[in-house]
Amino acid sequence: MTADQLEKTFVLKGIGVSPGIVIGKAYRFEPFDINLSFYKLNDVSLIPIEIQRFRKALKEAERQLLEIQQNVKKTRFNEPLLVIDVHILILKDKKFINHTIKNIRQLGINAEWALRMTLDHYKKIFDGVEDTYISGRISDVQYVTQRVLRCLSGKKRETIWDDSEPVIVIASDLSPADTAQMKMEKVLGFATDVGGRTSHTAIVARSMEIPAVAGLGNITRMVHSTNTLIVDGTSGLVIVNPYPDMLQRYEEKKLHYAAVKDEYLRHAKLPAITLDNYQVQIGGNIEFIEELPSAIAHGAEYIGLYRTEFMYITRDNLPTEEDHFNNYRHVVGVKDLLWSTIRTFDLGGDKFSANQKPVKEINPQMGLRAIRFCLQEVDLFKTQLRAIWRTSALGKTKILFPMISGVEEIREAKKLLQDTRNELLSKGVNVDSNMEIGAMIEVPSAVIIADKLAQEVDFFSIGTNDLIQYALAIDRANERLAYLYEPLHPAVLRLLKKVVDAAHEAKIRVAMCGEMAGDPTCCLILLGLELDELSMSHLAIPRIKRIIRQSSLKQAKALLKKALSFNTASEVRAYVQSFMMSHFPEEFQKEED
């Protein structure tokens, strides 16, 4: 494997067994990393000695399990006790012991080999059991076998991570004895090959309140201890080597996740209507269809931004029209959603795994990416457009073009959209008769000519992350500049106002789909701006809705007016922050907890 491959971004889908989001380094947990040697005993006189060795290993294994059990009893977490109980019973099971001894005696083989044969014997029996719970119990026999094998080899069990960094534990599966020996405060999350909601890993993770995804197939083969991972236990996803944008998005999600309280969820489905009866439509941003159930549970009324980049990144070849379609149709097929806005490819060509010779750009944020890249790679673009058209026949779909910087780009994109529509119609394929077309407003030039762009499209969607980065000339990834990244900068507020005014002048709707939309501190400013739609990480929705429901448009407009009167970003922030804290004390105290 080359260094390139090690750094490749890819996504693994499993079963989210413990909710939450965590980002960290992978740690491959390998309990069974002993080299076994199988050999024949070359003299009959060695047989009793071998049996003795086996019995000693059994004793040692039992001693270890009892010790672990004692340690577990000292913790607040008692679940493993019962499972360790079962393991001790297996260890002392006469059938299990006698089967192994019989093998040593009759076949003249060493204890390791004989024990291995016993395990295989039980594997066969358990495989024959129809009940999946029971057949899954072979894992208990395996753990016991492995522990005895380790004792036979004379190796001490590794005690883990006294001085290591916190890690995400990657394992095939984990037994209570495995987790009982881990320093839990060093474990950020779990990702396992096998298992489901009721597996031990899941139970431990839930009781420790750390995210976990199980049933990932073969993550242990695909991930190395140096990889960075995102574990999204809410949606059942593990993202390996996330690229910077994605990483940032998940850092954000993580914060929102921590702020969501159960009580919020009960009201999450209520509309975001102010006390003076002004409604803002609240949507969710997603990038994986697995996030849909969680988005709906958190109160998303529609999908305001469906990012499609992962389709290109996580595979070795380019996605086909069918690949696109098969993903999109899940999104528009959800009944509880008013509509879904699909954004076309928004990265540079270097992000394709399939792209053999990407050109190294010095400033990729301003490079050949998003709509610019798509307008050059027309075939690739049209594949996606065709799939979006086909999706539009199945449910309310809107299309959104990213990184529009001028009228030519939107016209060209629309022409390709029209071409693909005609192609499909001539083949008798159903499409929506008037799918709404939107432009992302994220390049400052687009703000300045917003009135012109408004004549070309049905709606705007403001991407604040890039807009702020471009307007303030701040590389978001540069930590030394983080202090300058300020959504409440007077220039940003003026840009936003200009976009909203231009849109409303042209009688089109204007949405925001950047991080700012989900930022509780900015909530009333955005309300005062009279944005029609706010689409955000779905985890941010419950809180934003609560704030809007407690506020009034009048109050928000007054706040905006005052905010626009300040000269410096720090004055705006100080004023807005103290306003929010004094008017919504409950919402903002919670942050301090």
Partner 1 sequence: MHARPAANFVKIAQQFKSDIYIERNGQTIDGKSILGILTLACPMDGLLTIKTEGSDAVAAMMALENLIENKFGED
Q: Which of 200, 256, 298, 538 is catalytic?
A: 200
Give the nearer residue to partner 1 in terms of CB position, either 27 or 122: 122
72-107 burial, b at 16+ Cβ within 10 Å, e below that, comes to beeeeeebbeebbeebbebbeeeebbebbbebbbee
Give the nearer residue to partner 1 in terms of CB position, either 90 or 522: 90
Question: 131, 262, 263, 592: which one contacts partner 1 (CB under 8 A)?
Answer: 131
Total binding residues for partner 1 by CB under 8 A? 21
Question: 122, 264, 328, 460: which one contacts partner 1 (CB under 8 A)?
Answer: 122
99 is catalytic: no
How far is residue 366 from each of residues 224, 309, 373, 467, 476, measured CA to CA in Å? Answer: 32, 17, 11, 12, 13
Q: Which of 513, 522, 523, 538 is catalytic?
A: 513
For the bound state, the minimum distance from the C-beta of residue 99 to partner 1, rounded and expressed in Å, comes to: 9
For the bound state, the minimum distance from the C-beta of residue 129 to partner 1, rounded and expressed in Å, comes to: 4
CB 487 within 8 A of CB 574: no
For the bound state, the minimum distance from the C-beta of residue 125 to partner 1, rounded and expressed in Å, comes to: 5
Give the nearer residue to partner 1 in terms of CB position, either 141 or 337: 141
For the bound state, the minimum distance from the C-beta of residue 139 to partner 1, rounded and expressed in Å, comes to: 11
Question: 4, 130, 316, 379: which one contacts partner 1 (CB under 8 A)?
Answer: 130
Question: 6, 66, 129, 258: which one contacts partner 1 (CB under 8 A)?
Answer: 129
CB 517 within 8 A of CB 534: yes
Q: CA-based angle 448:451:454, to the nearest 5? A: 120
Neighbours of 260 (CB within 10 A): 18
d(CA 461, CA 407) in angstroms, rounded, equals 16
d(CA 346, CA 546) in angstroms, rounded, equals 32
d(CA 30, CA 394) in angstroms, rounded, equals 47
Does residue 132 interact with partner 1 by CB under 8 A? Answer: no
For the bound state, the minimum distance from the C-beta of residue 195 to partner 1, rounded and expressed in Å, comes to: 15
Question: 112, 140, 193, 515: which one contacts partner 1 (CB under 8 A)?
Answer: 140
Q: Which stretch binds partner 1 (CB under 8 A): 130-138, 343-351, 465-473, 567-575?
A: 130-138
Helix axes 569-583, 585-592, angle to 10 degrees: 110
151 is catalytic: no
How far is residue 454 from each of residues 283, 492, 500, 572, measured CA to CA in Å? Answer: 22, 19, 10, 29
Give the nearer residue to partner 1 in terms of CB position, either 82 or 338: 82
CB 240 within 8 A of CB 11: yes
How far is residue 86 from each of residues 92, 144, 148, 178, measured CA to CA in Å? Answer: 10, 10, 15, 14
Does residue 174 interact with partner 1 by CB under 8 A? Answer: no
For the bound state, the minimum distance from the C-beta of residue 192 to partner 1, rounded and expressed in Å, comes to: 19
d(CA 328, CA 344) in angstroms, rounded, equals 12
Give the nearer residue to partner 1 in terms of CB position, either 93 or 361: 93
Does residue 346 interact with partner 1 by CB under 8 A? Answer: no
Does residue 427 interact with partner 1 by CB under 8 A? Answer: no
Q: Token pair of 127, please?
A: 């495989």
- The sign of the dihedral angle between the CA atoms of 95, 100, 101, 105 is positive
For the bound state, the minimum distance from the C-beta of residue 89 to partner 1, rounded and expressed in Å, comes to: 4
Does residue 36 interact with partner 1 by CB under 8 A? Answer: no
Q: Token pair of 455, please?
A: 């004549």
Does residue 134 interact with partner 1 by CB under 8 A? Answer: yes
Binding mask 60-99 for partner 1 (x = CB under 8 A): ----------------------xx-xx--xx--xxxx---
DSSP for 80-92, written as a single string: HHHHHHHHHHHHT
Instruction: Summarize as ranges the residues that interact with partner 1 (CB under 8 A).
Output: 82-83, 85-86, 89-90, 93-96, 122, 125-126, 129-131, 133-134, 137, 140-141
What positions carry a catalytic annotation?
200, 513
